[in-house]
Structures are given as structure tokens and as C-alpha cells.
Amino acid sequence: MATHKPLPRPDDELELTRQLLKQEKKAEFEYYRNKVLNTSLEDRRKEGVCWYPIELLSHKISTGERYVMDVERIGRPNEPHVFTAGKAISLFVNDDSNSRAAAVVNWVKGNRMRFTLNGDDLPDWLYDGKLGIDLLFDEASYKAMDAAMQSILLAKGRTLELRDTLLGHHKPSFNPLPPAPEGLTLNEPQVEALRHALAAKDVAIIHGPPGTGKTTTLVQVIRQVVQQEGQVLVCAPSNAAVDLLADKLSEQELSVLRMGHPARVNEDNLPYTVDGRMASHPSYKELKRLRKKAEEMRNMAFKYKRSFGRSEREQRKMLLRESSSLKAQAEQLEYYLMYDIFEKTQVFCATLVGANGHPLLQEMRFKTLFIDEAGQALEPACWIPIQMAERVIFAGDHWQLPPTIKSYDAAREGLSETLFEKCITRTGAARMLEVQYRMHRHIMEFSSREFYGGRLQAAPSVAGWQLLPDEAPLEFVDTAGSGFAETLDPETVSLYNQEEARALYKHLSSLLERLNAAGVVTEALEAGIIAPYRAQVKLLTEQLPNQPQLREALPNLDINTVDAFQGQERDIMYISLVRSNERGEIGFLADVRRMNVALTRAKKKLVVLGDSATFGNNPFYSRFLDYVQEIGAYRSVFEWMYD
């Protein structure tokens, strides 16, 4: 009979998690120190943690009276870098003063970046010399997570009950299943997940494999709960996930408030931010008038710098009193506006670490908290909003991308196990969505068997869809024996495979020829290329201009790492596995969750290129090779590469 390992005591488990978080913070700071603090400007550029020099294209005042700046990288254009939306950065001038200003990245497109300054004013050194951007260490997130861990260790009352239930020490309880609400356009497993979530007293989990409509289901659950409870808190680990939910919930005509730094919010969501909602409030003009008048009075008071008599002194006092009174009125009105906005909000949307970032939100208590993309969330981050709620509804998939952890030891000792995973295995509170609306059944089937117990079904609308009637939906192109060896880039210590990249473009060009011959409008197709290594992404990106017909035929072609494609889909997807060596080393490609994401992005055509001799000894890839043989999807590169 199988024996189950006893669960650790909650206090012991949480204390260990807290210590592992400290290890992770230390590892991330070491990375920052080695790559940014203790390195030359040239080395920082090579590492992709610095843009220098940059050209200032424009600046403007955005929502919330903050300065937004657009810049372009003119030094080392197209080099790989680590900057993405939401990252904390430091704008600097390369002169003796080494003056700096903190900011947050709004977006990065090619060699252009938009960011929002944290301060209220433009730096006075903006035109004093060549400008650059460095990566900043984000200490605030670690402080928020550590504070949450300390607090949850000392939990009392309902928070203590909920904590111990989530960790598997109490069985979660449920009300009787409510009837399905009328007018829902959900399938049977989605309706079951919705009813299950509505019945939960402590915790419910919506397990959403790729393409199964997890977000659609979650939005409907949120809509139903708002009708019952009035206000809910909705969180996710990333700003992109929060923005998507805020969009979808607004489409349902719910009143949404998007918490967080405006720079970390998608531009379409700015009207839902605190600043955006303030600016559209009927009393906002009066607030601006009071602030302006207070500033005018203050300026008048200090108009006379030198010798002035008693009457001038009295006049100054009067003006300062008036300015102070107007400022107090403005602050009172601002608080009223804020309170009014919060009172009328139905859905508060925030990242996990930003959930208690606003003073008014910190004081609130919610009946229900929703955490989306919970399979990507570090456990300490989840405890931040959980302390504000009576019950939690998780949504996610622990078989897709895990949270990014820099400390190998912290990951190995347990930090990589998410609260979502613990809840799925310990509470039995999960319902899985089983019908997917993305992939041809041959693209879906391997992941279904490998990760989801063979329970995934392809919806009839997608089960047989193809680019052409005789075009195989899945191909594995084996490069074994071809001599396509991997190469290490000494600068970035990343890997690339020149010949595999060439083979990929040849295969894609051949596919496009067949599609064009059949009259398919390829310009309307969305295509992507996934490479697990940044050096291969760089190589494929640099080679693309040498393929003018391909670029013309597929203007919507994206090339990136697996992580960048999480949550996305494409009509056509190519995967370049890169690794090819005699030692059978596959590095982090042994992380099967990452490969699950890669293999489930394609809708109608998936082509995987790799060396079976290198990958074949790994059990996961061995089963994948068996599967492609089973459905007749195996090809050798020799079949067409050397025609």
C-alpha cells in the first residue's frame, strides 16, 4: 500500500519558504551586483543590462502628472537585452556627476523604449551629456513578500484557518453546488468549474490546460461573484496577466480599478487606474483649481526675496496661510475623490506584490480573492493578498511555465513549488477544463497524454483544421547525423545552432511555396519561431532580413524564447531545439513544463527541429519521438535539405 509523506507543520514550512526567499533575494542581488554595480559601461552593454548611448525622442506629462519619456538605443542596436515592461531602471548621464533618476519601463519595441519617471520633475541634467539606461534591483517586491511571510506566520482567526487549509491541514468545505446561471456560453467542464468555484467556502481551483478557455471561465466566475458580493480582489503575478483580466472584466461592464504604477499598466488600461479614474471624476477640475491656486499663493508669498517691511511680512504670512488652507482643502477633496472611486469599484485588479500597495486598499477586506496564472506565482507573493480575503479561487496550470528563480539551491529546496501546486495535490479542490479550442488534435495529443492524463479533447471546430488538406499538422525534423552542432557564444554564454537555423528557414520557405501555390493568403497568417536560447533568437532575428520573400509572405512573424510566447497562439509555429552534442546534454530543456508551453502554441502547423541522438536518452523526448513515429510525423533533415 502506498504511503504518503506527512505534511510539514505549517509554521515550519512557512519559515523554510521565508528563508528560501532570502536566498533568492541574495542570488538576484549578486546577479545585479556582478552584472551592473561592479562592471564597466562596456561590459554592462554586452550583458544586456544597459542601453548606452540613447537618444531622447520625446517627453510628455501623462496620466497622474508623471513624465513619460521615449528613447532610442543608438549604441549596439539589436543586441539582446533584459529590459521588459515593468522593469525598474535608472536613467543616467555619463559625466562626472553620474546623476541618476529612477524610472519604470512602459514598453520596449525593437530599439525603442518608453518609461515613466518616478519623480514629479524632469532631471535638470537631461541635456548635459550622453544618456543611458541601467537595470535597477527591485528590492520593493522582496520587502513586500517578506513582510507577508512574517505576517502569515503570526496569522490568527480566519486568516489562520485559510492558511492551514491551503497548506492541506484542513479539508476545504463547500456549499451545495448552485444551479448553473442562465445565459452562459460555456461548455460542460467550464460550467462545472464555475459551479464548483461558487460553492467553495475556502478554496477552489480552476485548472486550465492550454487553449481550454481558462480566462473566459474565470471572468464568468468573477462576474457571478460580483453580483453576490459587490466587490472582489483579482490578482496575478505579472502586469500583462492583470491587464488582460482588467480588459476582459471591463468588457463585461464591470467597474474595474487597476492598481499599480501607471508605467506598469498597458496603455489601454490607463483609464482604469487610480490616476485615470481620478482624472475623469466630475470633481477633478475643482481639485486642479485648488492645487493651482495654492501654488500661485505660495509663489506670490516668496516673490520678494530681500528687504521688505512689516506690511510685506504680514502680506507674506497671509498668503502662506491662504496657500496652506487651499492645500488642505485640495487634500481633503482628493481623499473624497479617492474614497468615492474605491466605494464604486466592483473589481480591484493588482499584481500579487502590488495588492496592498495603496493605503485605502490595505484597509479593505474581501470575501473572495481571485489569483490567475497561479502556476507562475511564487508562494510568498500569494500570501500578500490572501491575508485580505475570506476565500481564494485560483486559476492556472502547473504544467506550464513555473516562476523564474535565480537561486538553484532555493529552487531545489522548495521555492519552485508554488502554492497552486500545493493546493492541487493537498486539497482536492481542483476542476480541470478539458475541451481545448486552439490545436489540431495531433498537436494536442502528446501534451494531453504527457501532462493531463489523456483527458484533453479538441473541440470539433479545431480538431481537424489544417493549412491545406494534405499538409501534416505536426512534423518533427530530425537533424541527427547531419553535423548541425551547437555553438557556445563566449560573450553571452548562450547557445546557438547555425545550420539548424538555416534548415528552419529552408523548411519554412518550402511551406510558404506550397501555401502560395494553393492560393492561401499567407500575409493573414500569424507565425512564430521559438528558440529556447537567446543566442539562437538573436541569430534567427539577424538572418531574417536575408529572407525577403519570407518576410513579405509572413509580415506577422515573431521570433522569441518560450517565456515570451506564454499565453499566446499562432497559426504556424516552429521550434528550434538548438542542442546537438555527443554528450547528450540538453541543459534546461529538461524542464518539460517549458516544452509543454512551446508544443501547445500552434493552431494548425507545428514543426520541431532537433537532434534525436542528443535528446533521445531523455524519457520525455523519447516518448515524443515515439509519438511522432506513431502518427507519421517523423522526417529526417536529409529528406529535403539537400535536394
Nearest to 377 by CA among 422, 343, 409, 344: 422
Nearest to 349 by CA among 222, 490, 446: 222
pLDDT at 2: 43
Angle between the N-to-C axes of helices 379-386 and 139-153, in degrees from 0 to 180, rounded to the nearest 10: 60
Distance of alpha carbon 86 from alpha carbon 332, whole angstroms:
31
Average pLDDT over residues 528-542: 95
Q: For residue 53, what is its C-alpha cell? A: 548611448
At residue 3, does pLDDT exceed 60? no
| Residue 215 backbone dihedrals phi, psi, to 5 degrees | -65, -45
Q: For residue 616, what is its C-alpha cell? A: 533521445
> What letter does residue 522 receive in the DSSP assignment?
G
Distance of alpha carbon 519 from alpha carbon 632, whole angstroms:
26
Q: For residue 635, what is its C-alpha cell? A: 522526417
Beta bridge partners of 512: none
Average pLDDT over residues 52-59: 92
- Could you tell me the pLDDT band of residue 619, with boundaries at 50, 70 and 90? very high
pLDDT at 1: 39
Nearest to 196 by CA among 177, 220, 217: 177
Helices (H), 353-414: 359-362, 379-386, 408-410
Q: Dihedral of the CA atoms 585, 588, 592, 598 (nearest 10)?
A: -110
Angle between the N-to-C axes of helices 379-386 and 419-427, in degrees from 0 to 180, rounded to the nearest 10: 80
pLDDT tens across 401-422, in order?
999 999 999 999 999 999 999 9
**Could you tell me the sign of the dihedral formed by the alpha carbons of 50, 53, 58, 61, in that order?**
positive
Distance of alpha carbon 529 from alpha carbon 538, whole angstroms:
12
pLDDT tens across 220-272, in order?
999 999 999 999 999 999 988 999 999 999 999 999 999 988 778 888 888 88
Computed over its alpha carbons, how large is the radius of gyration of the chain? 28
* 354 residue type, one letter: G
Q: Which of 110-114, 172-176, 273-277, 634-638 has the lowest mean pLDDT?
A: 273-277
Per-residue b/e over 114-153, b at no fewer than 16 CB within 10 Å? bbbbeeeeebebeeeeebbbbbbbbeebbebbeebbeebe
At residue 305, does pLDDT exceed 80? no
Distance of alpha carbon 194 from alpha carbon 54, whole angstroms:
50
